[in-house]
Amino acid sequence: MQRPPANGLNLEFLTELTILLEKLEDDHSCRGMVLTSSLPGIFSAGIDMGELTLTASHGPEHVTAFWRALQTFIINLYQSHLVTIATITGHAPAGGCLLSLACDYRVMAAGNFTIGISAVRAGLFPPAWIQMLLSDIIGKRQAELSILQGKLYSPEEALQLGLVDKVVPETDMMSAAESELRQWLQVPDAARILTKSNLRRKLLQAFEHNREREVEEITRFIQTDSFQNNLKEFMQNLKNKKR
Amino acid sequence: MQRPPANGLNLEFLTELTILLEKLEDDHSCRGMVLTSSLPGIFSAGIDMGELTLTASHGPEHVTAFWRALQTFIINLYQSHLVTIATITGHAPAGGCLLSLACDYRVMAAGNFTIGISAVRAGLFPPAWIQMLLSDIIGKRQAELSILQGKLYSPEEALQLGLVDKVVPETDMMSAAESELRQWLQVPDAARILTKSNLRRKLLQAFEHNREREVEEITRFIQTDSFQNNLKEFMQNLKNKKR
Amino acid sequence: MQRPPANGLNLEFLTELTILLEKLEDDHSCRGMVLTSSLPGIFSAGIDMGELTLTASHGPEHVTAFWRALQTFIINLYQSHLVTIATITGHAPAGGCLLSLACDYRVMAAGNFTIGISAVRAGLFPPAWIQMLLSDIIGKRQAELSILQGKLYSPEEALQLGLVDKVVPETDMMSAAESELRQWLQVPDAARILTKSNLRRKLLQAFEHNREREVEEITRFIQTDSFQNNLKEFMQNLKNKKR
């Protein structure tokens, strides 16, 4: 990922990522991939909050299109028949964390970085399938505590919790990912793909069942005054921190 | 809670607790609460076993009414839009433990106290939603071991297991609860309430689906000779221990 | 279990085990059992791979009959009203591990043994209910990692993961199992049996719902060239290792 300054997820970027993933999946010589960032110190800041800010030229229809693109990329990544490794090379709050959760394995760089499903901090609530995705990885109780308080964890805390699978020095990220990838690819493809698809069916069914309703709910929620006010305050706080 | 000698849960006490919770929820200046006990050394001994003992003046209809009251309070507490903290100030066996499980966060007093879903010891079986409540918190396998053997844990074991979230000296209980409460209330209410409701929907659906059947099953089970005999033996053992 | 050389599971052996379990359950003086092996260093090698190898005299119908027998024994063991303890006296790969997972409690011998759901290594995929069985015991994420890579664990790793409940020296296996059994039998039978049945209902429903479709899927999958080739290679590798 290389969308300065922070790999923020907007409609255009998510569409590009979706097309790129499709190309890799159509390439029969490709059996695995590494999702990484070429921006220093940041994996992805998650949703570009501009996408959720309503303006005259940027109405609810845009939010609807954006949310559909987010759903599509995350779910395609989650059910990819490729082996997918995330190298979390820096901060990964909210949607940045989500990108990594959709992969098969997570390697995080040691350092002063944070990761977590911090959506409630911006007044946003993660839909049921994202809660399920996190619960499947760190257990229901820790997911609940984590989501309800929008917690952000250090790499060491994330490792302890099972939110990431390995923490290595920044310079060793790619070699750690490659060695992990090689290990996963020892299993025969047919058995691995069928097994992965079986393991993930339940979440995918829950997601599909609620897909359109979720888009409607989010679109409606984004338009409430209370959300737009929370968002303004949240973005103001971020700006103040940076100064 | 202040129903000497041990905050035993009977029909009257559960009805009072339910009304009290409703009042707090209707008070728009109230965003959180602490469930605690003013009796020394005991949080709650759980179900008042007298409620399950059949006598001439106290037939199966009473058991039915009692069980409905138990369901109602626990489930209302579980789905409360308030932030709910339990300060487990002493022993919390069976229904005492259950009260705390329905809260968002559990602080337990260090000391010679025990906590656990020990229902099978009295020959009683926890219905599916109570198993689910425990599984969601400590994981399915530990819940299974815990429930099948009616295990009771020390505060340190409970912390290790995730059954409680924090253990502090008895004198620090209220300040620990308040500081936790303050942290939870930093999240915008709308996002927190929606998220909590999403997170808990599955258990609530399972509960509602089976609510009436469970009441019938329990009422029938209570009337079996084997249960009434187990209960007598259990209460005799308790008395002998106290002597 | 005593079917040299490795307690491999074939149609005949599974049928014998199923009948034996039924006899124990019909014997009202029997409240618990220990599943063990009398072969040194091996609990069970799991599925006898000869059962999945297609030959002129051994067609797809045999695979169908074999898979049904496997389903029947494992599920009967899982829902047994007896207290069931597995003493894992040696290696327990794939189906050997599965046998132990269907029991209430697992004691493993310390030593140079391994255990795990290693099916993908032979190009086989564990159906949804086996994934669920493992997830219920070690958590969804560890089950996913374990199954997707066909991992095999040492007794210490298995204990750490929760895949087994206790590791003891080989000579103490039976006394450890008996002392555990005695503890489980302190709970009144009616409450224990109802509770166990409630706890396991969800998996049983998922299994029953898909039982026949699974048999068809497996029978079809076994007949693919890619599976038969993987199997030949896998068995050749095993032979080479033994030399």
Amino acid at B99: L
Q: Could C148 and A188 be called an inter-chain contact, meaning their C-beta atoms sit closer than 8 Å? A: no
Q: What is the CATH number of domain C11-172+188-242?
A: 3.90.226.10
Q: Could C192 and B144 be called an inter-chain contact, meaning their C-beta atoms sit closer than 8 Å? A: no
pLDDT in tens, B158-194: 999 999 999 999 999 999 999 999 999 988 888 889 8
Q: Could C162 and B141 be called an inter-chain contact, meaning their C-beta atoms sit closer than 8 Å? A: yes
List CB contacts (< 8 A) between C135 and chain B.
140
Integer Cα distance of C146 and B177 in angstroms:
39
Residue A23 contacts B, CB cutoff 8 Å: no
Which residue from A139, A184, A198 is facing C125, i.e. has the nearest CB?
Answer: A198
Q: Which residues of C100-131 are buried (b: 16+ CB within 10 A; e: fewer)?
A: bbbbbbbbbbeeebbbbbbbbbbbbbbbbbbb
Q: Could C150 and A187 be called an inter-chain contact, meaning their C-beta atoms sit closer than 8 Å? A: yes
Dihedral sign from CA coordinates of C57, C62, C66, C69 = negative
Q: Are B73 and B44 in contact (CB under 8 A)?
A: no
Q: Report the 10 Å Cβ neighbour count for A84.
A: 23
| Mean pLDDT of the region B14-28 | 97
pLDDT in tens, B117-142: 999 888 888 999 999 999 999 999 99
Question: C42: which DSSP letter?
Answer: B
Q: Could A144 and B138 be called an inter-chain contact, meaning their C-beta atoms sit closer than 8 Å? A: no
- CATH top-level class for B11-173+185-242? alpha beta
List CB contacts (< 8 A) between A145 and chain B.
105, 165
Q: CATH for A11-242, among 3.90.79.10, 3.90.226.10, 3.40.50.720, 3.60.20.30?
A: 3.90.226.10
Selection from C60, C74, C87 nearest residue C155 by Cα: C87
List CB contacts (< 8 A) between B199 and chain A.
131, 143-144, 147-148
Residue of B nearest to C183 (CA): B149
pLDDT in tens, B211-228: 999 999 999 999 999 889
Q: Are B54 and B1 in contact (CB under 8 A)?
A: no
Interface test with A, best of B199, B200, B202 (most A CBs within 10 A): B199
Q: How many CB pairs under 8 A join A and C?
A: 57
List CB contacts (< 8 A) between A120 and chain B.
187-188, 191-192, 195
Interface test with C, best of B133, B135, B147, B152 (most C CBs within 10 A): B147
Q: How many CB pairs under 8 A join A and B?
A: 59
Q: Could A121 and B195 be called an inter-chain contact, meaning their C-beta atoms sit closer than 8 Å? A: no
The full length of chain A comes to: 243
- What local confidence, expressed as pLDDT, does residue C93 receive? 97
| Mean pLDDT of the region A200-209 | 95
Q: Are C89 and C138 in contact (CB under 8 A)?
A: no
Neighbours of chain C (3+ CB pairs under 8 A): A, B
In this model, does residue A243 exceed pLDDT 70?
A: no
Mean pLDDT of chain B: 94
Residue A56 contacts C, CB cutoff 8 Å: no
Q: Are C137 and C165 in contact (CB under 8 A)?
A: no
Q: Could A123 and B192 be called an inter-chain contact, meaning their C-beta atoms sit closer than 8 Å? A: no
- What local confidence, expressed as pLDDT, does residue A146 receive? 95
Q: Between helices A128-138 and A140-149, what is the axis angle to 10°?
A: 130
Model confidence at A191, pLDDT cuts 50, 70, 90, reads confident
In this model, does residue B241 exceed pLDDT 90?
A: no
- What local confidence, expressed as pLDDT, does residue A58 receive? 87
Question: C91: which DSSP letter?
Answer: B
pLDDT in tens, A107-154: 999 999 999 999 988 888 899 999 999 999 999 999 999 999 999 999
- What local confidence, expressed as pLDDT, does residue C243 receive? 67
Selection from C236, C222, C238 nearest residue C51 by Cα: C222
Q: Report the 10 Å Cβ neighbour count for A112.
A: 10
Which residue from A138, A187, A195 is facing C126, i.e. has the nearest CB?
Answer: A195
Dihedral sign from CA coordinates of C16, C22, C26, C29 = positive
DSSP 3-state assignment of C125? coil
In this model, does residue B243 exceed pLDDT 70?
A: no
Model confidence at B14, pLDDT cuts 50, 70, 90, reads very high
In this model, does residue B242 exceed pLDDT 80?
A: no
pLDDT in tens, A225-235: 989 998 898 88
pLDDT in tens, A164-176: 999 999 999 999 9
Which residue from B162, B184, B191 is facing A141, i.e. has the nearest CB?
Answer: B162
In this model, does residue A26 exceed pLDDT 90?
A: yes
Residue C173 contacts B, CB cutoff 8 Å: no
Nearest CA-CA distance, residue C175 and chain A, Å: 34
Dihedral sign from CA coordinates of B141, B152, B207, B99 = negative
- What local confidence, expressed as pLDDT, does residue C122 receive? 85
Nearest CA-CA distance, residue C73 and chain A, Å: 23
- What local confidence, expressed as pLDDT, does residue C25 receive? 97
Model confidence at C190, pLDDT cuts 50, 70, 90, reads confident
**Higher-scoring residue by pLDDT: C238, C200:** C200
Integer Cα distance of C156 and C145 in angstroms:
18
pLDDT in tens, C68-106: 999 999 999 999 999 999 999 999 999 999 999 999 999
Q: Could B199 and A226 be called an inter-chain contact, meaning their C-beta atoms sit closer than 8 Å? A: no
Residue A136 contacts B, CB cutoff 8 Å: no
Which residue from B183, B187, B198 is facing A128, i.e. has the nearest CB?
Answer: B198
Domain residue spans of chain C = 11-172+188-242
For A64, A240, B183, C59, C137, the CA distances from A230, given in Å and listed in that order, are 20, 15, 17, 66, 41
Which residue from C104, C162, C195 is facing B120, i.e. has the nearest CB?
Answer: C195
Selection from A223, A222, A18, A218 nearest residue A127 by Cα: A218
Q: Are A113 and A41 in contact (CB under 8 A)?
A: yes
- What local confidence, expressed as pLDDT, does residue A94 receive? 95
List CB contacts (< 8 A) between C144 and chain A.
136, 199
Question: C175: which DSSP letter?
Answer: H
List CB contacts (< 8 A) between B228 and chain C.
none
Neighbours of chain A (3+ CB pairs under 8 A): B, C
Q: Could C199 and B125 be called an inter-chain contact, meaning their C-beta atoms sit closer than 8 Å? A: no
Q: Are B121 and B146 in contact (CB under 8 A)?
A: no
Q: Could A123 and B184 be called an inter-chain contact, meaning their C-beta atoms sit closer than 8 Å? A: no
In this model, does residue B96 exceed pLDDT 80?
A: yes
- What local confidence, expressed as pLDDT, does residue A240 receive? 87
